[in-house]
Amino acid sequence: MLKYTNTEIVFQEFPDETTLAFNISGCPVHCKGCHSKWLWEDTGTALTIPNINKEIKLHEGITCIGFMGGDNDRDLLNAILIILKHEHPELKLGWYTGLDNYNQINLNYLDYVKIGPYIKELGGLNNRNTNQRIYKIIHNNKGNSDINKNYLVDITERFWNRV
Ligand code: SF4
């Protein structure tokens, strides 16, 4: 089971979007120098479709749903993405993973993916030396449920102009 500690509206994590972000607990990555250690605990509210829909209803005007974490049950998060894409095709979906690859992530249902653990000396996305990358995902047949090819556009540079 995945759980989230809280939700918040964020504007920078996914460029050009008004995002309802779910901070997911139980993070198994344990980066040295982690800035959000409270997310290591297995605590919070169950990340279920009814609970997500309840939050969506409470936050009119959002354009994107962002999942911050979820590496402790990627299969479940992949399944959630499929349902949300079908129930809310108007909303973009994004995922911040702490791992350095997206091998176990189903990109077909995502619009953004950020990869990479946090390494204090290299900094986060807004640092030019960062190891982290964020991609916008372009689907070759958007609007068609038989999505079979994705193009990843590296948009990390967009974070560098903010420092
Ligand atoms: S991915 Fe790394 S920085 Fe993010 S919550 Fe987990 S341990 Fe902390």
pLDDT, position 162: 64
| pLDDT of res. 49 | 98
Consecutive 10-residue averages of pLDDT for the chain (163 residues):
97 96 97 92 97 97 97 96 96 95 90 96 95 93 61 94 64
Q: Can you give 34-83 as a three-state secondary structure string? A: CCCHHHHCCCCEECCHHHHHHHHHHCCCCCEEEEECCCCCHHHHHHHHHH
Q: Which pLDDT belongs to residue 161? A: 76
pLDDT at 102: 86
**Which residues on neighbouring strands pair with residue 152, listed in sequence order?**
137
Q: Is the CB of 2 under 6 A from ligand 1?
A: no
Here the tokens at position 141 are 């047949």
What is the rounded CA–CA span in Å between residue 57 and residue 120?
A: 37
Ligand 1 contact, 26 CB (< 6 A): no
Predicted pLDDT of residue 88: 97
Residue 148 pLDDT: 61
In 3D space, the residue among 141, 128, 139, 135 whose CA is nearest the CA of residue 153 turns out to be 135
Q: Is 91 helix (H, G, I), strand (E, B) or coil?
A: coil
Instruction: State the closest ligand 1 atom to the C-alpha of 98, by its place in the atom list counted from 1.
Output: 1
What pLDDT does residue 87 have? 97
CB 79 less than 6 A from any atom of ligand 1? no
Protein residue whose Cα sits closest to atom 5 of ligand 1: 36
pLDDT at site 55: 98
**69 phi/psi in degrees, rounded to 5:** 105, -165
User: Does the global pTM surpass 0.95?
Assistant: no
Name the residue with the closest Cα to ligand 1, atom 7.
30
